[in-house]
Amino acid sequence: KHKFWETQPVGQFKDLGDSSLPEGPIEQPTPLSEVKQEPYNLPTPYEWITCDMDSGEMCNEVYALLSNNYVEDVDSMFRFNYSKEFLYWALHPPGYYRSWHIGVRVKNSKKLVAFITGVPAKIRVRDTVFVMAEINFLCVHKKLRSKRLTPVMIKEVTRRVQLENIWQAAYTAGVVRPTPIATCQYWHRSLNPKKLIDVGFSRISGRMRKNRTIKLYKLPDQTVTPGFRKMEPHDVPAVSRLLKNYLKKLIFAPDFDEDDVEHWLLPKENVVDSYLVESPETHEITDFCSFYTLPSSILGNQNHSALKAAYSFYNVSTKTPLIRLMNDALIVAKKNDFDVFNALDVMHNETFLKELKFVPGDGELHYYLYNYHLKQALRPSELGLVLL
Ligand code: NHW
Ligand code: EN5
């Protein structure tokens, strides 16, 4: 059934019940000289390229491939439309490797037809921190699907990761493959109910219902928590401490240092937004919330072409109740013209989703590890990692 994945060091479906398998790496690292030194062979019309995302032209080509061929919902009504600025940010965290930004193009025409990326990250599983690759943006042009290009791309990114002496990877997908370490649910909080109904994001409709829906999702114009403000560069140390303290309670979480926090969480317009609560009395930073900007193209609607979505990223509450903190996040998202606020049921998100009128969506997100076996799948609330 999975001719490729059966050959890979990942948890296999047949082993799901087997408690005799030890938890930890499936294969041991080999000497780097034993890692294949040449790229895998592609079918003859194609060639590998390492994408230089500092080149505006290359960035445009990647953007074009993804905006036309990347992830859609099950009914093909929406397609993720990561912006160029977002892609640049996502692919250049501290310590990134250019060699992990991999393209496939047609030799003759030079057209970019496939893409896969990795970025390095320190990720803790229970008590052990591993340097891993986070794999994302796997995409094959619609016209080249089902030709088994994907296994070659996965093997090539694996080879380039291993050449850096890194032997584990984390990735997420909307589809089930061997085998999820956790399965999460997407939840959605409507900020612009009229538009969501008009574009079919929200199934409910009818004029009477529409007015009632609009009222149901109303939010105040101003945030309510005293000391709630945008994160600034001088907040990086305090936010790092807050986040470190919070994430250490979770089983699977990134191990962020200050450089990571600066990269991933310092606000970047139209890419990532972070807010915190600074106590008006003590000036202590007590709470933090963040979301990233990921619009979707609306496929085949007369009136609207883009859906502006915010995705919950990392949130930490120590003084402000999480419900109130996230309500303020909704208020700033609404003010900034987002149509919908999305969140997974990871970390402590379950504790605010229903209360703040999020509803479960029709999509799930499965988390995976490459070359690491877990005895049991984790609960979403045990996950502290959010991938873009
Ligand atoms: S998930 C988003 C993936 N991208 C999309 O869904 C975009 C739209 N779809 C496409 O572009 C986030 C194509 O349909 C793709 C498949 C390219 C998805 N994960 O080429 P074939 C990520 O980027 C397996 C894992 O004929 P295709 C995470 C499939 O099971 N495997 O398919 C990416 C089958 O193998 P099997 C996937 O439809 C993580 C084989 O590919 C997969 O033309 C990658 C078929 O290939 C998926 N999402 O193209 C793994 N989709 O054994 C990283 C398909 O079942 C692993 N497949 O026969 C770690 C590597 C680093 C290790 C370092 C130590
Ligand atoms: C790797 N980093 O399916 C990511 N989204 O629920 C790749 N549904 O938006 C993996 N079908 O339910 C990504 N509205 C996997 C997810 C792919 C995208 C996806 C789902 C997640 C989604 C929406 C739209 C459905 C359109 C029809 C949905 C219904 C709820 C609605 C919310 C607002 C208030 C009223 C009700």
- Alpha carbon separation from 279 to 8, 315, 318, 319 (Å, rounded): 50, 17, 11, 9
| pLDDT range class, residue 210, cuts 50, 70, 90 | confident
Q: Using the mean position of ligand 2's atoms as its centre, give its distance from the Cα of residue 312 in Å.
A: 14
pLDDT score at 5: 98
pLDDT score at 38: 98
Give the mutation target among 115, 138, 311 for probing the ligand 1 site: most ligand atoms within 8 A of CB. 138
CATH 3.40.630.30 residue spans of the chain: 5-171
CATH 3.40.630.170 residue spans of the chain: 183-382
Which protein residue has the closest C-alpha to ligand 1 atom 43?
145
Q: Using the mean position of ligand 2's atoms as its centre, give its distance from the Cα of residue 138 in Å.
A: 19
Say yes or no: CB of residue 71 within 6 Å of ligand 2.
yes
Nearest to 115 by CA among 186, 67, 54: 67
Q: Is 325 a catalytic residue?
A: no
Mean pLDDT of the chain: 97
Say yes or no: CB of residue 96 within 6 Å of ligand 1.
no
Say yes or no: CB of residue 30 within 6 Å of ligand 1.
no
Which single residue is written with the structure tokens 């094959």?
Answer: 140
Length of the chain (residues): 388
3-state DSSP: the chain helix, strand, coil percent, rounded to 5? 30, 30, 45
- What pLDDT digit, counting tens, does each position of 228-245 carry? 999 999 999 999 999 999
Which protein residue has the closest C-alpha to ligand 2 atom 25?
201
Say yes or no: CB of residue 299 within 6 Å of ligand 2.
no
Residue 207 has pLDDT above 70, yes or no: no
Residue 206 has pLDDT above 70, yes or no: no
Nearest bound ligand to CA 13? 1
Average pLDDT on 159-174 reads: 98
Give the mutation target among 27, 91, 130, 150 for probing the ligand 1 site: most ligand atoms within 8 A of CB. 150
Which protein residue has the closest C-alpha to ligand 1 atom 16?
150
- What pLDDT digit, counting tens, does each position of 37-50 carry? 999 999 999 999 99
Which protein residue has the closest C-alpha to ligand 2 atom 31?
202
Say yes or no: CB of residue 202 within 6 Å of ligand 2.
yes
Share of the chain above pLDDT 70, in %: 99
| pLDDT range class, residue 98, cuts 50, 70, 90 | very high
pLDDT score at 211: 85
Catalytic residue among 87, 242, 385, 388: 388
Q: Using the mean position of ligand 1's atoms as its centre, give its distance from the Cα of residue 150 in Å.
A: 6
- What pLDDT digit, counting tens, does each position of 257-314 carry? 999 999 999 999 999 999 999 999 999 999 999 999 999 999 999 999 999 999 999 9
Q: What's the fold here for domain 183-382?
A: Aminopeptidase (3.40.630)
Longest distance between any two alpha carbons in the chain, whole Å? 69
Say yes or no: CB of residue 196 within 6 Å of ligand 2.
yes
Say yes or no: CB of residue 168 within 6 Å of ligand 1.
yes
Q: Check residues 366 and 210 and name the one with the higher pLDDT.
A: 366
Q: Using the mean position of ligand 1's atoms as its centre, give its distance from the Cα of residue 154 in Å.
A: 8
Q: Which CATH superfamily is domain 5-171 in?
A: Gcn5-related N-acetyltransferase (GNAT) (3.40.630.30)
| HEC letters along 233-275 | HHHHHHHHHHHHHHHCCCCEEECCCHHHHHHHHCCECCCEEEE
Average pLDDT on 224-229 reads: 98
Say yes or no: CB of residue 190 within 6 Å of ligand 2.
yes
Nearest bound ligand to CA 9? 1
Q: Which atom of ligand 2 is nearest to the CA of 174?
A: 15
pLDDT score at 203: 79
Rg over CA atoms, the chain: 21
Residue 355 has pLDDT above 70, yes or no: yes
ipTM here: 0.99
Say yes or no: CB of residue 153 within 6 Å of ligand 1.
no
Question: For residues 159, 30, 131 and 171, what is the CA-based torsion angle, rounded to 10 degrees?
Answer: 50
Residue 145 has pLDDT above 70, yes or no: yes
